[in-house]
Structure 1
Amino acid sequence: MNLGARLLIVLAGLSGALGVALSAAAAHITGGNLTTAAQFLLFHAPALLALAALIATGSVHPTLAQVAGYVLVLGLALFCGDLSRRAFAGMALFPRAAPTGGILLMLGWVLVALAALLRLRG
């Protein structure tokens, strides 16, 4: 994979991290709801598929990219799980579940970017 394509992966990772941060800010401003959880799941599903494809083609550092994917999944479970439970049951998954999930999502996206950068050495 050429440098330009890897740079796009890095920028996608940074865009994902910033998108999560801005979505979290918007959820706090509007109160957050089930729509936010659904959108996060729908947006991250193809991203996880793409990450698996990038790993399979050797376009990213395989171990770091796999860790990034699992961090994204854990972040989704906490963030979306908390928003969903609040919507359906009126109570949190556990204290600070959504912010912890959001931080993990941002970290996952940064790890995607790093996986592309570290692959440059190979």
Structure 2
Amino acid sequence: MTLPASFSPVPRAARLFLSLGGLLGLLSVAGGALAAHLPDAMFAAPSGRVLAREAVEMGMWHAPALLAVGTLLCVRGRRVPLLLAGAAFALGVVLFGGAVGWTGVTGRHLGPVAPSGGSLLMLGWLLMLVDGVRR
């Protein structure tokens, strides 16, 4: 039996999280280069470069987490805790990293955006724990 050219054994959600993990890794490396090489005048906050690096670091830590979610979805199949963990990682890193990076570059704090993103990141890890215990 031959499979159609459009057939992919990798589930759609797994491909999404694997792609997001790769994109986040790429953006984190690019952001790290910018944080390292931009002139100090580009950072409005007194500790702007440190904040930018913090945002980049959070992205770099969660790129492999998204890759892990995608890989686990391939191995274990569609599981709600994994899907929710991946969504929490993706949205959480955008909110946390985006807000912290924004503060570093503009000097303006976005209120509860960064803590909300951080809470989503923690929720993602909790969901990974739940999925691991349930397995």
Question: Unmatched 5+ residue regions in structure 1?
Answer: 1-29
Q: Of residues 67, 71, 86 in structure 2, which corresponds to 1:53?
A: 71
1:81: how far off? Answer: 0.6
Which residue is equivalent to 1:16? none
In the TM superposition, 1:101-112 aligns within 5 A as 101-112=117-128
Q: Tell me how many residue pairs correspond in the alignment.
A: 88
**Bigger radius of gyration, 1 or 2?**
2
Separation in structure 2 between the aligned mates of residue 83 and residue 44 of structure 1, nearest angstrom: 15
Which residue is equivalent to 2:22? none
Q: Alignment partner of 1:33: what SS? A: helix
Q: Of residues 59, 65, 73 in structure 2, which corresponds to 1:41?
A: 59
1:116: how far off? Answer: 1.5
Separation in structure 1 between the aligned mates of residue 132 and residue 79 of structure 2, nearest angstrom: 9
Separation in structure 2 between the aligned mates of residue 97 and residue 107 of structure 1, nearest angstrom: 15
Separation in structure 1 between the aligned mates of residue 116 and residue 88 of structure 2, nearest angstrom: 11
Separation in structure 1 between the aligned mates of residue 61 and residue 81 of structure 2, nearest angstrom: 21
Separation in structure 2 between the aligned mates of residue 108 and residue 86 of structure 1, nearest angstrom: 24
1:116 aligns to 2:132 (yes or no): yes
Q: Give the CA RMSD over aligned residues.
A: 2.0
Question: Unmatched 5+ residue regions in structure 2?
Answer: 1-46
Q: TM-score, normalised by structure 1?
A: 0.65
Separation in structure 1 between the aligned mates of residue 92 and residue 68 of structure 2, nearest angstrom: 18
Q: Which is richer in helix? A: 1
Alpha-carbon deviations, 1:76-96, whole Å to 9, x = none? 11110101111111113x321
Amino acid corresponding to residue 67 of structure 2 in structure 1? L
1:109: how far off? Answer: 0.3
1:81 aligns to 2:98 (yes or no): yes
1:62: how far off? Answer: 1.6
Separation in structure 1 between the aligned mates of residue 95 and residue 61 of structure 2, nearest angstrom: 16
